[in-house]
């Protein structure tokens, strides 16, 4: 059996890494790793391969940035060619980025079985490009590997045949549990002049938050208040850095002594930081799950989430983007009334093993 795995952007690496390992260990397939090049800065790509101990990609499509159509189309053209040369028995895509959807479309047209890792998540918000990617990918993939029961329910409601759905748990948590000791050993808080348990971590990169200067300015206003009480470390995504440079309203960030801006961090340093934070504020999808697994209170700066189990079971609170609400929720957390939670079922470090076993035994339903 020949399996081709696809990664394209930062959140993909930690989802594919444990599957590569589990399949290699099970020894039933040859594997190739393809990087589409959607993310290309060393801090958004190479550092993760190093930190996660992933093999270098066998093929790099080098698509880079562009409009959604440009980026999707470039991945489709490059990956189609690769599939025609390699003729894989199975392609594995993960998450909800443009590369994920582009490769799923190629596979559907070429009639190559495709597995979607992290299937079934829905924000029900078509303003998010990721929601379009999720819908298209899940409609087309043969194997839908879901992280939690809500994923199964969403797929079934859309009319998906139950035999395409496999609840395997959360592969990102496999990676987290495996790397936590090493991440803590990086001493990331001390390197940034912070005391474990004595700071908050902030990430912002969603277009809905950073592309609108009023929303971005408002959120930074709330952060300006929080940093006066608790230091806030803010690794800045390239998209956000561009928007900050162009922002005219909002507080002057360099005048805020408690706010520490830095470049995007690698996997181990970032996990070292979040795992010892008092509080996380974010619009990331993955971080909502990681904080739930770590038991760290998380305030999600969005109006919706495709990861509701982090709210019903985990440490996540959906706060929205109004500065007053962000501040009120942060004050609660700082007063020690942050949300406690439990880890959802099957977020146990063994999701990749379950996926490898499914790949080993699965046979296409179609002739």
Per CB under 6 A, residues contacting ligand UD1 are 9-11, 38-41, 44, 65, 96-98, 129-130, 205, 237-239
Query: Is 114 or 194 the residue whose CB approaches ligand UD1 more closely?
Result: 114
* Residue 274 C-beta: closest distance to ligand UD1, Å: 16
Query: Is 227 or 240 the residue whose CB approaches ligand UD1 more closely?
Result: 240
Active site residues: 205
* Residue 101 C-beta: closest distance to ligand UD1, Å: 8
Query: Is 285 or 338 the residue whose CB approaches ligand UD1 more closely?
Result: 285
Query: Is 100 or 146 the residue whose CB approaches ligand UD1 more closely?
Result: 100
* Residue 105 C-beta: closest distance to ligand UD1, Å: 14
* Residue 159 C-beta: closest distance to ligand UD1, Å: 25
What 3 state SS string does the chain have?
A: CEEEEEECCHHHHHHHHHHHHHHHHHCCCEEEEEECCCCCCHHHCHHHHHHHCCCCCCEECCCCCCCHHHHHHHHHHHHHHHHHHHCCCEEEEECCCHHHHHHHHHHHHHCCCEEEECCCCCCCCCCCHHHHHHHHHHHHCCEEEECCHHHHHHHHHCCCCHHHEEECCCHHHHHHHHHHHHHHHCCHHHHCCCCCCCCEEEECCCHHHHCCHHHHHHHHHHHHHHCCCCCEEEECCHHHHHHHHHCCCCCCHHHCCCEEEECCCCHHHHHHHHCCCCEEEECCCHHHHHHHHHCCCEEECCCCCCCCHHHHCCCEEECCCCHHHHHHHHHHHHHHHCCCCCCCCCCCCCHHHHHHHHHHHCCCCCC
* Residue 271 C-beta: closest distance to ligand UD1, Å: 16
CA angle, corner 211, sides to 261 and 275, nearest 5?
40
Query: Is 38 or 148 the residue whose CB approaches ligand UD1 more closely?
Result: 38
Query: Is 67 or 248 the residue whose CB approaches ligand UD1 more closely?
Result: 67
Q: Which of 147, 189, 146 is nearest to 296 (CA)?
A: 189
* Residue 15 C-beta: closest distance to ligand UD1, Å: 12
Query: Is 60 or 350 the residue whose CB approaches ligand UD1 more closely?
Result: 60
**Distance from C-alpha of 322 to C-alpha of 218, rounded to nearest angstrom:** 7
Q: Which residues of 16-46 are buried (b: 16+ CB within 10 A; e: fewer)?
A: bbbbbbbbeeeeebebbbbbbbbbbeebbbe
CB 346 within 8 A of CB 339: no
* Residue 206 C-beta: closest distance to ligand UD1, Å: 7
């Amino acid at each position: 059996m020949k399996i081709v795995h696809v990664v394209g952007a930062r959140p993909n690496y930690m989802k594919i890494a444990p599957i590569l390992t589990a399949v290699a260990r099970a020894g039933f397939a040859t594997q190739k790793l393809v990087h589409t090049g959607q993310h290309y800065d060393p801090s958004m790509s190479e550092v993760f391969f190093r930190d996660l101990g992933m093999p270098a990609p066998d093929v790099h499509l080098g698509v880079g940035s562009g409009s959604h159509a440009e980026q999707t189309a470039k991945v489709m053209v490059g990956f189609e060619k690769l599939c025609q040369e390699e003729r894989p028995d199975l392609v594995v895509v993960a998450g909800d980025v443009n590369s994920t959807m582009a490769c799923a479309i190629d596979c559907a047209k070429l009639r190559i079985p495709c597995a979607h890792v992290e299937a079934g998540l829905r924000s029900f918000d078509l303003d998010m490009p990721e929601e379009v990617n999720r819908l298209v990918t899940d409609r087309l993939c043969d194997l839908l590997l879901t992280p939690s029961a809500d994923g199964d329910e969403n797929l079934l409601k859309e009319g998906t045949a139950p035999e395409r759905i496999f609840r395997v748990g959360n592969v990102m948590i496999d990676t987290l549990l495996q790397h936590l000791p090493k991440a803590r050993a990086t001493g990331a808080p001390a390197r940034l002049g912070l005391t474990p348990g004595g700071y908050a971590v902030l990430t912002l990169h969603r277009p809905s938050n950073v592309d609108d200067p009023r929303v971005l300015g408002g959120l930074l206003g709330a952060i300006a208040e929080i940093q006066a009480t608790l230091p806030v470390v803010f690794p800045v995504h390239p998209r956000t850095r561009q928007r900050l440079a162009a922002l005219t309203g909002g507080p002057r960030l360099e005048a805020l002594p408690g706010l520490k801006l830095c470049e995007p961090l690698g996997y181990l340093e970032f996990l070292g930081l979040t795992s010892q934070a008092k509080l996380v504020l974010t619009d990331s999808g993955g971080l909502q799950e990681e904080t739930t697994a770590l038991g760290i209170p998380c305030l999600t700066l969005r109006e919706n989430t495709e990861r509701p189990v982090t709210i019903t079971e985990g440490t996540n609170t959906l706060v929205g983007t109004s500065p007053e609400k962000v501040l009120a929720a942060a004050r609660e957390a700082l007063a020690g009334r942050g949300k406690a939670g439990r880890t959802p079922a099957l977020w146990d470090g063994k999701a990749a093993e379950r996926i490898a076993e499914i790949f080993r035994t699965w046979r296409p339903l179609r002739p």
